[in-house]
Amino acid sequence: MHSVIWNYCIVKRIGMNVKLLNSLKENENMTVNVQADENILVEKTPANLFKGMEAVGGKLTITDKRLIFKAHKLNIQGGTTEILMSDIFSVDKASTLKIISNRMIVKTKYGEAFKFVVYKRDKLVDIITGHLK
């Protein structure tokens, strides 16, 4: 009886992993609509955007006009978040657990703060700050 339950659990787990992989493959095709006068600087880099307590996983695209974060389907909170370059007041570097240099805080002139966890944070901060007006 224990082996039947164990096998059932393994099959369920494999099924969940297959669904997860299929969902991630769908998200690789997430498209970002850019305007005719807009140039992509960084395309679809993996990122997490904190919305309340949830670290929403997705892809961050940086253009010369805006930041576009598209959440993948595995999140409770989804959707797209756009931040115009002209609205950005500052981009600050921060660390996770005070030791991992992977946090980026984008502050707007309206008092909003968007907290991201990204790979190659320093490079992304330099790209964004280089395009601020």
User: Residue 54 sits in a domain of what CATH number?
Assistant: 2.30.29.30
- Domain span at residue 91 reads 33-130
**In a shared domain, residues 25 and 52:** no
Q: Which residue has the higher pLDDT, 17 or 53?
A: 53
Q: How many independent structural domains does the chain possess?
A: 2
Contact of 92 with 104, CB cutoff 8 Å:
yes
Give me the pLDDT at residue 26, please.
46
Q: What is the pLDDT of residues 73-129, one digit of tens each?
A: 766 667 888 999 999 999 999 888 888 888 899 999 999 999 998 989 999 999 999
Give me the pLDDT at residue 6, please.
37
> Is the pLDDT at 53 greater than 90, yes or no?
no
Beta strands in the chain (DSSP E): 40-51, 54-63, 66-71, 80-84, 88-96, 100-108, 113-118
Residue 66 to residues 1, 10, 34, 63, 71, Cα–Cα distance (Å): 58, 44, 10, 5, 16
**In a shared domain, residues 48 and 87:** yes
Report the candidate in 124, 123, 92 with the shortest Cα–Cα distance to residue 108: 92
**In a shared domain, residues 20 and 46:** no
Q: How confident is the model at residue 31 (pLDDT cuts 50, 70, 90)?
A: low
